[in-house]
Amino acid sequence: MATRSILKPLLLGACLLALSPLPALAADPVPVVPVAMPDTETWDIQAAHGQTYRIFVSRPQGEAPKDGYPVLYVLDGNAMFAGFAEARRIQSVYKDGQDKMIVVGIGYPGDTPYDPRRMGDFTAPIATPALKALYKDFPAGGRDQFAAFLIDQLRPEIAKRYATHPLRQSLYGHSLGGLFALHVLYSRPGAFHTIIAASPSIWWDNQAILAEEPAFRAKLEKEPALGRGTRLLMLAGEREETEVTVTDSAALAKRLEPLSAYGLRSSYKVLDGETHVTVPARSVTMVLRAVMQWP
């Protein structure tokens, strides 16, 4: 009897299992399609100095303004472009014209967010022996040829492809890109209406960038028109891993204040709670607003 009492539920379970529908065979996987950002395009260009850059462009729909679109050039395009492009595009929902600009990301072929070539493009030749030894496997010292590519080659190419405003040109750089942005301000004053230096690496190479300030000041004193209408916005994160990024930026902002007499308008903002790597994402909206300010 004991055997029967055990077998009965086992047999009943087996019968119920046999009557249950078999699991459906797995369907063919849905094909994966790469995501394409609306209102954007990308193309490669070879610079006069031989290097190839990947250019990312976000542009508005519809007819361009009579005088052309303002343009924002974003360094480290592989890492930074998408955030600025989507923030620009979403502004079109509000129909207030804040999306009516062109965002140009300057990057490198490939999918790496930060290409090692950026160090060569954003810096001067390294003078400090310890720093030179630390970065011996990385290129350095190509900032002037990169500036020539950006201003003398890429900007005319953008102007040929799109309706752009020749004076409403802005530049955004972060970290070493911010250092490069300061160098452009000093060496090519008036080239950009607005320059945004986010978390600029002023500390780099024993603060070598400071040596460029006196010559820049002398240029403005001699030719005030060079600084007239130029705006510099410096940003830093409250929790920057390199604390001198905050103190150096604050000190520079203080030194530049008197140059307002020659037309240079500079401002400095610390972004509460942000680290070095989170400053770009937090800065997007304020940068786009700065670009649209005119005159």
Active site residue 240: yes
Q: Phi and psi (nearest 5°) for 167?
A: -100, -25
Pairing between strand 52-58 and 194-198? unpaired
Q: Which residues have C-beta within 8 Å of that of residue 47, sequence separation ≥ 6?
A: 53, 145, 146, 149, 153
Instruction: In the chain, count H helices and then E strands.
Output: 11, 8
Catalytic pick from 174, 183, 201, 240?
Answer: 240
Catalytic residue among 58, 175, 199, 249: 175
CA triple 72-65-85, angle to 5 deg:
30
Q: Which candidate in 174, 183, 276, 283 is catalytic?
A: 276
Active site residue 86: no
Residues with Cβ within 8 Å of 11's Cβ and at least 6 positions away in sequence, in order, are: none
CB neighbours of 98 closer than 8 A, spacing ≥ 6? 91, 288, 289, 292
Active site annotation includes 193? no
Q: Are the C-beta atoms of residues 85 and 103 closer than 8 Å to each other? A: yes
- End-to-end CA distance of the chain: give it in Å, rounded: 99
- Known catalytic residues are 175, 240, 276
